[in-house]
Amino acid sequence: MEKPKKPVLKFEEHFYRTASFLIGILFIVLIIYVAKDSFAGHVSENRKILFEIVFLLLVAVLAEAAVLYFKMENVVLLMILGMLLSPSVIGKVVPSFPSFSNEVIRVFSELGAIILLFKVGLHSKVDKVFSKVNLLVAISGIIVPFAVGYFFAVGSDNFSYAMFMGAALAATSVGVTVAILKNMDVLSKRFSEVIIGAAIIDDILALLLLSVVKSMAGGPGEGISVFMTLVLAAIFILGAIVTGKFIIEYIDRKDMGVKRFLISIAYMLFMGYVAESIGLSVIIGAFIAGIVLNKSKNLANLEEKTFGLEYMFMPIFFISLGLIVDIGSILSNIVPIIIITALAVLSKIIGCGIMAFASGIKLKESLVIGVGMAPRGEVALIVASIGLSGGILTVSQYSLISAMALITSFIVPFILPRMIKSI
């Protein structure tokens, strides 16, 4: 049987195929040329900003692809990539590699932090969060770590640094632990409910503590008094929850269209603005906005529509936190980093675990609660970044806190599943 003959291409088809191939080659050369100029820093400031945004988003895509391969939390991997792109790492290996614009990174990272806490709030129900046991575990989980962090750093004769170290140790990152509990299908267990509820209360208390620390670190004559901070915080949080029904009534009149989605985002940003204006952190306002909108019948639709913002800003936020880390400072302070990391884990086990056990929870489950509360993650990094941006912490002190936050987020995913399986 004869093979079918290949169709003979006409001259026009030959021409178009050859032209398309050459244009494709020229386009690739053009991209390489532009990338080479961009990495070399031979671009204007406006074009550099666009290049940085595109580059960081591509790094986030790379991290998403690497998560499955390395079996690592996305947040942790993004921070590691940020550390690798920091001047202390790639700047030493490739001196011509351009540094990122602080202003662009600051804006994107702040929006990332706002959206992050807003999303956590959307998943938080007031009645399950503020139970008696959760409140006791959270309070104990704040007091013990704060005292440990404060007395660890107070020897440096820097009161502000000691206060920020205490606030960083008092924090809890619920994201890492919740991901583990979800993967192990134990979210309905008693210890999981306590971990999630106490961690959310812990975040609120830690953020309020951060506001107090900021007021005290500011020195006399700066900011409002600690007492007024607490009073205004109580009025703001309780008032927002009580009056939130009016914004929900409006949003729930119709389905979540473009107008109602934009109003929800504006509400989130406005709450953050009010919180910042009265001496709290902007992320407290975003978190409270999330708790308020949690009761909306359009919650699922709102979450779906915020995915784009989440994927846009949150990766850059976590990468930016790693960008500021000074690897040289970490290596030169490896001993205190190991010590503070050990103290960070033990203080949560003691503070949260003992209170959980005293509340009637079994010993093994109490230990699981303590370890589950140990990751400091993004909350401690937010505390540290606020201290650094405010000129209160040095880069070395920021690196010490961020290293502790990163390591605790690393080790808990290895310890917690084994502990849960032993129950």
Q: What is the pLDDT of residue 175?
A: 66
Does 27 reside within a domain? no
Give the structural domain span for 143: 105-421
Please report, as a single letter, which amino acid is at residue 286. Answer: A
Query: What average pLDDT is seen over the chain?
Result: 79
Q: Residue 109 pLDDT more than 50?
A: yes
CA–CA dist 401, 396 (Å, integer): 9
List the structure tokens of 204.
Answer: 């609120």
Among 381, 362, 376, 377, which Cα is nearest to 419's? 362
Does 57 reside within a domain? no
User: What's the pLDDT band for 219 if we cut at 50, 70, 90?
Assistant: very low
Does 267 reside within a domain? yes
Q: What average pLDDT score do residues 381-406 get?
A: 82
Which contacts qualify for 149-153: CB closer than 8 Å, 24 or more apart? 149/340, 149/343, 149/344, 149/347, 152/339, 152/340, 152/343
Q: What is the pLDDT of residue 221?
A: 43
Please report, as a single letter, which amino acid is at residue 325. Answer: V
Q: What is the pLDDT of residue 12?
A: 65
Q: What average pLDDT score do residues 370-377 get?
A: 88
Q: What does 194-230 look like in DSSP terms, one character per residue?
A: HHHHHHHHHHHHHHHHHHHHHHHHT-TTSS--HHHHH
Torsion of Cα atoms, 122 then 198 then 205 then 270, to 10°: 0
Q: What is the pLDDT of residue 35?
A: 65
Does 10 reside within a domain? no
Q: What is the pLDDT of residue 223?
A: 47
Q: How many domains does the chain have?
A: 1
Does 47 reside within a domain? no
Q: What does each C-alpha distance from 223 to 115, 161, 209 come to in angstroms?
A: 26, 18, 15
Among 131, 134, 114, 125, which Cα is nearest to 292's? 125
Contact 257, 303 (CB under 8 A): no
Q: What is the pTM of this model?
A: 0.68
- Kindly report which listed range (26-35, 166-175, 281-290) carries the lowest average pLDDT score: 26-35
pLDDT (tens digit per residue) in 135-166 = 899 999 999 999 999 998 887 667 888 888 89
User: What's the pLDDT band for 38 if we cut at 50, 70, 90?
Assistant: low
Q: What is the pLDDT of residue 352?
A: 92
Q: What is the pLDDT of residue 67?
A: 67
User: What's the pLDDT band for 50 if we cut at 50, 70, 90?
Assistant: confident
Q: What angle separates helix 258-277 from helix 299-323, to the nearest 10 degrees? A: 50
- For the chain, state the CA radius of gyration: 25
Highest mean pLDDT among 156-160, 178-182, 275-279, 371-375: 371-375
Share above pLDDT 70 across residues of the chain, in percent, rounded to a whole number = 80
Does 53 reside within a domain? no
The alpha carbon dihedral of 151, 155, 159, 163 has a sign of: negative
List the structure tokens of 285.
Answer: 């306002």
Q: What is the pLDDT of residue 266?
A: 93
Q: Which residue has the tokens 């939390």?
A: 73
Q: What is the pLDDT of residue 371?
A: 92
Quote the Cα angle for 201-206-209, to 5°. Answer: 130
- Kindly report which listed range (158-167, 220-229, 256-265) carries the lowest average pLDDT score: 220-229
Contact 196, 120 (CB under 8 A): no
Q: What is the pLDDT of residue 220?
A: 45
CA–CA dist 326, 341 (Å, integer): 17
List the structure tokens of 40.
Answer: 């070399």
Q: What is the pLDDT of residue 41?
A: 59
Q: What is the pLDDT of residue 229?
A: 67
The CATH number of residue 162's host domain is: 1.20.1530.20
User: What's the pLDDT band for 36 if we cut at 50, 70, 90?
Assistant: low
Q: Residue 342 pLDDT more than 80?
A: yes
Q: Residue 88 pLDDT more than 70?
A: yes
Q: Residue 346 pLDDT more than 50?
A: yes
List the structure tokens of 340.
Answer: 């503070």
Does 138 reside within a domain? yes
Does 2 reside within a domain? no
Q: What does each C-alpha distance from 16 to 9, 10, 11, 26 come to in angstroms?
A: 11, 10, 9, 15
- Kindly report which listed range (12-16, 163-167, 223-227) carries the lowest average pLDDT score: 223-227
- Helix, strand, or coil (residue 172): coil
Cβ within 8 Å of residue 64, ≥6 positions away: 74
